[in-house]
Structure 1
Amino acid sequence: MSTKRPADAVRWLRPDEERAWRAFRRIMVAVQVGTERDLAVVGLSGPDYEVLSTLSEQPGHTSTLGRQADKMGWSRSRLSRHATRMEARRLLRRAPDPADGRGCLLQLTAQGLDALAAAAPAHVDSVRRHFVDRLTPADLAALERIAQRLEGP
């Protein structure tokens, strides 16, 4: 069954909607490029930092690969490949998941925690420079409201 809709049934974006969509995309790219460039200076990629920071929030700095992938919005295969590279750098380790014979646990290592602690000040500074400090408190509140509306089902 085809999911294509006839061109005349498509709700094309109005000019103001298209401008807003393109502005949103430019914001995402600019902030991501800036923060990832700054993280590279301290030896981490944006995805490295995301894995380390989200694992650091888990009890015992441990999570199942599946739960971690879901939390990050990644596929399991993407996270598995990235975890392999991080494991080679001793930032995390894998362990069998006792609750799922096919799954594994991701555990933050002491070296991973140290890398996160060393990168966090530079990351926060970067987020401030590329995002927070360029906006007013009203802008930040509006973005928070928008995010709440977009995060739902």
Structure 2
Amino acid sequence: MAIHHFHLKAGWEGGRNSEGRISCGKLESKVSIPKSMGGPGAGTNPDEMLLGAAATCFLITLAAMLERSNVTVAPLTLESEALVDVTDNVFTYKEITHRPTIVFTAVESPELEKKVERLAHKAEASCMITRALKGNVEVKAEPIIKWGIE
């Protein structure tokens, strides 16, 4: 068993509407509350970072599963969306939807399309971040499958 350690350093300059900085490995960013939530919008925020963590974990997991299944596709692209509910001034991260675009370089095959769609859903369920969110945030995949490079 291997245990991996990740360390983050953070600083904050004042009250709620101030800004701060984080540093973790190759990630360095200014952080603040987004304008849409009444903040200054001066940097990234926890909502975007959680979405980024979930999206990159999903994308890497999907790429690995496709590779292990000997499925060749064009470079993967992904759009992910998060929904945060604000009720009575309580912020709740509700849902993340991943929409990977998977373009096949092979001849069209319904069997291959089903296999890749199944792998996309398996990647969403297998991703470490999705598993960490389970029971708190609904995470789903809606793969977009295309044939031939456009």
Shorter-chain TM-score: which interval? 0.3 to 0.5
In the superposition, the TM-score normalised over structure 2's length comes to 0.37
* Structure number with bigger Rg: 1
Structure with the higher fraction of residues in helix conformation: 1
Query: What is the TM-score normalised by the length of structure 1?
Result: 0.36
